[in-house]
Chains A and B, each alone.
Chain A
Amino acid sequence: MLREIRPAIVLLLVLTAITGLAYPLAMTAIAGAIFPAQAQGSLIEKDGKVVGSALIGQEFKDDKYFHGRPSATVAPDPNDSTKTVPAPYNAANSGGSNLGPTSKALADRLKEDVDKLRGENPNAAVPVDLVTTSASGLDPDISPEAAQFQVPRVAKARNVPEDQVKQLVASNTQGRLLGLIGEPRVNVLALNLALDRATK
């Protein structure tokens, strides 16, 4: 058995160097050369400043923007480091609500959000994705129904015809891959950027 000790140490170190250093570092160099935009995080710049990532949702509260899904991410409480405070769309600490199907906290939150949305647009059914938090808290997308639901509010806030906003939603809707894989969706940040460009 003693002759197994040298391979146990040397082979481990060699394989660690290959898989733990050479492989990730080589992949970083190659990926950065072939797909530089994605490798850096698919960042979107506007007037030379980074406004976010095409893949990461961000918080929208203003009536003139489409809103994303609720986010359950948190940040450390600045007053007490053992506690956390809500910090929606915190892209340095992803996570979900983890509330279960029989959670009273979840039932209360859902009721409050549904009531608020019904007040905003009484003419359409509330889409389920607009009141449920995503798994990462950074979901960049909403469903086409959730975008349509917000059209009257956005059009009113921007003082433009609803049809124009509807067209923007339609042109920013992505379908399923090959008509089969995934779900139809609207990227909220892309839609809002398009909105800003179209209705300045």
Chain B
Amino acid sequence: MTMIGWLQIILYCVIIVALAKPLGWYMTRVFNGERTFMSPVLRPIEAGIYWFSGVDEKREQHWLTYTVAMLLFHVGGFLIIYGVMRLQDVLPFNPAGQSAVAADLSFNTAISFITNTNWQNYGGESTISYLVQMLGLTHQNFLSAATGIALAVALIRGFSRASMRTVGNFWVDVTRCTLYVLLPICVVYTLFLVWQGIPQTLGDYVEATTLEGAKQTIAVGPVASQVAIKMLGTNGGGFFNANAAHPFENPTALSNFVQMLSIFALGAALTNVFGRMVGNQRQGWAILSVMGVLFLAGVAITYWAEANGTSTLHALGLTGGNMEGKELRFGIVASSLFAVITTAASCGAVNAMHDSFTALGGMIPLINMQLGEIIVGGVGAGLYGMLLFVVLAIFVAGLMVGRTPEYVGKKIEAREVKMAMLAILVLPLMYLGWTAVGVVYPAAVASMANAGPHGFTEVLYAFTSATGNNGSAFAGLTGNTFFYNLTLASAMFVGRFFMIIPAMAIAGSLAAKKSIPPSAGTLPTTGGLFVGLVVGVILIIGGLTFFPALALGPIVEHLAMNAGQVF
């Protein structure tokens, strides 16, 4: 670890915190339906879209209607992606002549993109056409992100409203999020990325003759426009197989730094939106502090482990840390930081191969996802995941002092706690259950690329990433098989919707409750005590759930590595 490395990490955190307030201010206005400086341009377009699609923007929805609207939207998104992938060979914008994608891979990819997972069983440049990249993937990068943010805003309304039956209008929230937040940022961001060197072209792959006379086919495409939303919307599905490690997806140290910022920007700002909507910004800062504590602990461990290297490297006298599977322009620190950010959020883009990380360095990304990606988290998904843990923490605190727990003026009762527990329990059921199948079913075992405990970690990582809707991988695992295409899709599906539906049920039940003023017996939820309590509950519940699985994978591998054992 170096001083310059830590300065990069600190600079990153400072900028994220500084961005949270102005972005939160802007997003609050957008979701409250107020005028913004973009309104003169965008308001006519927005009104035209509502008129054309038959949306009454004044009519709000009950939480159930809101959820059904969201689900219908996903069904349509699924059909579009599946359709263009299966038919890409006869559709335009296919200069590389890619053939139709197989049914199981198309199914997996469609589920992967509507759930904001963006798991890559497809190879990017080697499998899919420009049309699929744009119409299938770029569009769903926007819409799954907008959906996540809309749901988080609906849950916030549950906390901030009193005695109301409705939580907002899904169509309006998604449209406003796309038009006022995601698109304007992406237009500027795309141009920045092209300036840094990311291609944006519909032309053919380039045939080059290298200095030594060899032929090199260089894949290009409309990359920058997709990378912008892939990062901002915490989607993470790469244009290329190597994702953000590919020089055309992440050409410079500056593009890398800005990409890391854009992963956290909206998620961190949503905590501020929460604070503003419930009427006390300090409530938002308290939640961001919980996230910050867990984040910095993860960064410190991964950075230390990667800088320290492996016993194989030490034995050969190689210093400078574990550079296997890392790009030189990012080095140890920016690769470690990126890995923690991308898994803390549900982004899943990678700028280094997590499969080649040290055992402990790779364990932190795994833990981040197993905690449910609540450390800033996916846009929207992170906030509602974190609020589920807050509900639980408040409940535990209530038990300790024997009072009905309250949070931001709402009584937390049996229904909320049951729903929160359902969401928190169903995730480990998916990733632990499927991992158990994956390590004994012969066709699944054949997919492991590494032997020994590392192979187990590959499988655990895959199902954790899918359930958490992350999408990063220990990429050695051969995921494009019938078994993994279907099981991973099921994990992604359950991981997304069994989190969303309970969260929306909580939103509906909270919105209907009366708001009660704080009394002398109310636990203050803006101070250090509350932050410590939530961090504690997250670590205890998380730790109890997945520690045994970690012991079989990364922990035993770390011990084996220190003993000089290879597999």
Contacts and interface: CB of A to CB of B under 8 A. Distances in A.
B198 to A, nearest CB: 7
Interface stretch (B216-224, B416-424, B436-444, B529-537): B216-224
Contacts of A11: 49, 53, 55, 73, 171, 174-175
A106 B324 contact: yes
A92 B218 contact: yes
Contacts of A43: 206, 208
A137 B16 CA distance: 31
B56 to A, nearest CB: 9
Interface stretch (B156-164, B264-272, B328-336): B328-336
B77 interface: yes
B458 to A, nearest CB: 8
What interface size band does chain B fall in? Answer: 35 or more
A170 interface: no
A128 B323 contact: yes
A40 B326 CA distance: 25
A10 interface: yes
Contacts of A69: 328
Nearest to B557: A102
A169 interface: no
B253 A102 contact: no
A91 B248 CA distance: 10
A23 to B, nearest CB: 6
Give the interface size class of chain A: 35 or more
A162 interface: no
A198 B456 CA distance: 52
A55 B284 CA distance: 41
A51 B209 CA distance: 5
A27 interface: yes
Contacts of B207: 50
A157 B206 CA distance: 31
A134 B325 contact: yes
Interface string A1-35: 10111111111101110111101110110111011
Contacts of B353: 96-98, 135
B326 A135 contact: yes
B69 A97 contact: no
B226 A93 contact: no
A100 B55 contact: no
A98 B356 contact: yes
Given A28-B200, A98-B449, A101-B310, A128 B318 contact: yes
A183 B132 CA distance: 35
A94 interface: yes
A143 interface: yes
7 contacts: A18-B178, A34-B195, A52-B208, A94-B242, A126-B316, A135-B245, A136-B240
Interface of B: 4, 7-8, 11, 49, 52-55, 65, 68-69, 72-73, 75-77, 80, 123-126, 134-136, 138-139, 141-143, 171, 174-175, 178, 183, 186-187, 190-191, 194-203, 205-212, 214, 216-220, 222, 224-226, 229, 240-242, 245-248, 251-254, 256-257, 309-310, 312-313, 316-331, 334-335, 350-353, 355-359, 362, 449-454, 457, 474-476, 557, 560-561, 565-567
What 4 pairs across the A-B complex have the smallest Cβ distances? A182-B253, A20-B139, A98-B476, A135-B245
